Chain A
Amino acid sequence: MDINSKMDLIGSTPPRPARIRQDKSEIIVRWAGYIFISLFAISCLLPFLLILGTSFTSESAVKQHGFNIWPHEFSTFAYQIVFENPKLIIGSYLVTMGITVVGTIVGLFIVAMTGYALQRPDFSYRNRISFFIYFTTLFSGGLVPFYLLITQYLELKDNYLAVLLPGLLTPFLIIMMKSFVRSIPHAITESAKIDGAGDFTIFLRLILPMSTPALATIGLFIALGYWNEWYHAMLFLSPDMDYRPLQLFLYNVVTSADFIRNSAASSNVAMSDVPLETMKMATAVVATGPVILFYPFVQRYFIKGITVGAVKG
């Protein structure tokens, strides 16, 4: 069975013969399935509801009753303060979106190009270059030399490029692209060549249009990586920067009460009345919301991706 027909089966009930008899074990297993899966699925949702509920609770109710899914005292105060100075949060959104869009487009293009070239049977260095790329997952210089490289040699400290560049390519995605493109018959490349098309024409006009499912999957992987990126941002962007990527902004809010107070400084609230706990939750909701709303629609591409990724390239 090839990947695509296998994929169509996921999430649908496999064809099963009519039951010969429904014995007890059948019923037990099925009920165990319903109960266990339900419990686990609910436990996956619960923490999110806890954040959402708390973000709509008044700070005093949180101090009294703790975090709760259902607000004891409904309040939108935390959101008011978060949006009191909308420049900060909008700035963070724009930075994250900019990095995500640029990184995904550039990264996707390079990954596609590399993946395509590496599976061309008439490319004589393909094995050597494949190993050159794969080797980086086996052995690395580690964090300290990497940090010195970015900050001292490339001088990218406090530059959004320090967040953008390191996330562009990963060997895993290149291997994934390679195995996708391999399913396109080489004869197509050959015949286009005979018709006088150059390598780039073949890539742009034939290979790219034919690998849209692959591009969608890999693009989503890259985009999700950038949207959730906080690590390089934390390493290379100092807290004095006006606009931090969204997740770093959230990290600062979560870990530092001073940061929350500073953010809320422009609002007309006494410093002691700044709702520390509920503001963390409100910021988390604002920073995560779009991804959560978006994700049921893109989930099936990730399913496709992980299944193909599991097939060795």
Chain B
Amino acid sequence: MCCPAVIFFCIFAYLPMPGLYLAFVKYNYTDGIFGSPFVGWDNFKFLIMTGDLWRLTFNTVAYNLAFILLGNIAQITVAILLNEIRKKWFKKVSQTLMFLPYFISAVLVGLLAYNILSYDYGLLNGVLGALGMDPVKAYSEPHLWPFIIIITYLWQTTGYGSIIYFAAIMGLDTEIVEAAEIDGANAFQRIVHIVIPWLKPTFIILLLFSLGGILKGNFGLFFNLVGANNTALYASTDIIETYVFRSLMTNFNFSMGSAVSLYQSIFGFVVVLTANWIVKKVSPENSLF
């Protein structure tokens, strides 16, 4: 009964793996992957010399760290506040609305951002203009993009991600809360000393799991927000996935793309092993393998 799945993963996941040999050749179309001349580590040397590898690693890791940390903080905040709210209809309606962004395609997210950021027609410049301020040329200002990308990410995932924390709060024993209240704990003390410590294990597990993917980018988000050929923004928006995509679709530099992929896979693999090792130390029953 496992056969279809095994065949599927053989073809779509394992079969491409030998193709990583591309990283060590100077690929040309006529000779194919294994006929092209072998160049050893030259592709990697080139990536290091041009500084591309460092920039890609920094951007990918920094964005992911921001996503993980700010994402979890936002999710915890929403979950805790949602738990404090008594009105059932308010909870239902707000949860439905906060869920909405998760259901749409990356293409639409890009268009939504364009609606707000567009220089000529965007809502942001409309508001700034009404306040008598100068318009912002968002699509040519690289330093704005870390904010734009992180805010968009939080906008899209916070409602959905808060579910796990909300479910965890539901599991909190009401007797403990009751006892604390009898002892005179106010709402802040209840949240800080009972709810947050209660969520700590969940947070740590989610954190360690997501650390494993720290070299994997969110291609759809970056690609659709920034656009395919906006070179002005590469310094602050280029991640591993967008680089590999470009090397395939625009620059046709297959070997360089594969070299970056191989680096990503191996580096990522080491990070997963490390994260798993830490999970094993912290809470053995939650480790991956």
Q: Using a CB–CB distance below 8 Å, which chain A residues touch chain B?
A: 1, 6-7, 9-17, 19-20, 23-26, 28-30, 32-34, 36-38, 40-45, 47-48, 50-51, 54, 62-63, 65-68, 110-111, 113-114, 116-118, 125, 129, 131-134, 136, 138-149, 153-154, 165-166, 168-169, 174, 199-200, 203, 224, 227-231, 235, 247-248, 250-251, 254-255, 277, 280-281, 284, 287-288, 291-292, 295-296, 299, 302-303, 306-307, 310, 312
The answer to whether A141 touches B82 (Cβ under 8 A) is no
A254: B residues at CB distance < 8 A? 107, 110-111, 114
The answer to whether A65 touches B167 (Cβ under 8 A) is no
The answer to whether A134 touches B97 (Cβ under 8 A) is no
The answer to whether A40 touches B17 (Cβ under 8 A) is no
Q: Using a CB–CB distance below 8 Å, which chain B residues touch chain A?
A: 1-2, 4-6, 8-9, 11-20, 22, 33, 77-78, 81-86, 88, 90-108, 110-112, 114-116, 118, 120-123, 125-126, 155, 158-160, 163-164, 166-167, 170-171, 174, 177-178, 181-182, 186-189, 191, 206, 212, 219-220, 224, 227-228, 241, 244-245, 247-249, 254, 257-258, 260-262, 264-265, 268-269, 272, 285-286, 288-289
A281 to B108, CA, bound (A): 10
Name the residue among B5, B8, B171 with the largest chain A CB count within 10 angstroms: B5
15 further interface pairs, Cβ-Cβ under 8 Å (given A16-B177, A114-B1) = A17-B178, A23-B187, A29-B84, A29-B191, A37-B94, A50-B115, A66-B126, A129-B2, A136-B13, A142-B16, A145-B19, A228-B104, A235-B249, A251-B224, A288-B105
Interface of B is mostly: helix
A66 to B5, CA, bound (A): 50
The answer to whether B9 touches A67 (Cβ under 8 A) is no
The answer to whether B17 touches A141 (Cβ under 8 A) is yes
A28 to B187, CA, bound (A): 9
B108: A residues at CB distance < 8 A? 247, 250, 284, 287-288
The answer to whether A44 touches B171 (Cβ under 8 A) is no
Contact flag A67-B123 (CB < 8 Å), given A133-B9, A288-B104: yes
Q: CB < 8 Å: which of A33, A48, A247 contacts B85?
A: A33
A23 to B173, CA, bound (A): 22
A132: B residues at CB distance < 8 A? 6, 9
The answer to whether B5 touches A133 (Cβ under 8 A) is yes
The answer to whether A134 touches B81 (Cβ under 8 A) is no
Closest Cβ of chain B to A110, distance in Å, is 5
A38: B residues at CB distance < 8 A? 94
Closest Cβ of chain A to B106, distance in Å, is 7
Contact flag A34-B248 (CB < 8 Å), given A54-B115, A296-B96: no
The answer to whether A113 touches B181 (Cβ under 8 A) is no
A63 to B264, CA, bound (A): 44
Closest Cβ of chain B to A180, distance in Å, is 16
A67 to B123, CA, bound (A): 6
Interface of A is mostly: helix
B178: A residues at CB distance < 8 A? 17
Closest Cβ of chain B to A242, distance in Å, is 20
Closest Cβ of chain B to A260, distance in Å, is 13
A114: B residues at CB distance < 8 A? 1-2, 4-5
The answer to whether A10 touches B118 (Cβ under 8 A) is no
A250 to B251, CA, bound (A): 25
Contact flag A10-B170 (CB < 8 Å), given A32-B81, A65-B126: yes
A13 to B84, CA, bound (A): 9
A295 to B105, CA, bound (A): 13
The answer to whether B258 touches A145 (Cβ under 8 A) is yes
The answer to whether A37 touches B78 (Cβ under 8 A) is yes
Contact flag A295-B103 (CB < 8 Å), given A144-B247, A145-B16: yes
The answer to whether A203 touches B121 (Cβ under 8 A) is no
A19 to B224, CA, bound (A): 49
For the complex of A and B, the 4 pairs showing the least CB-CB separation, nearest first, are A145-B19, A142-B261, A141-B16, A228-B105
A67: B residues at CB distance < 8 A? 115-116, 118, 121-123, 126
A77 to B114, CA, bound (A): 21
The answer to whether B1 touches A148 (Cβ under 8 A) is no
B125: A residues at CB distance < 8 A? 66
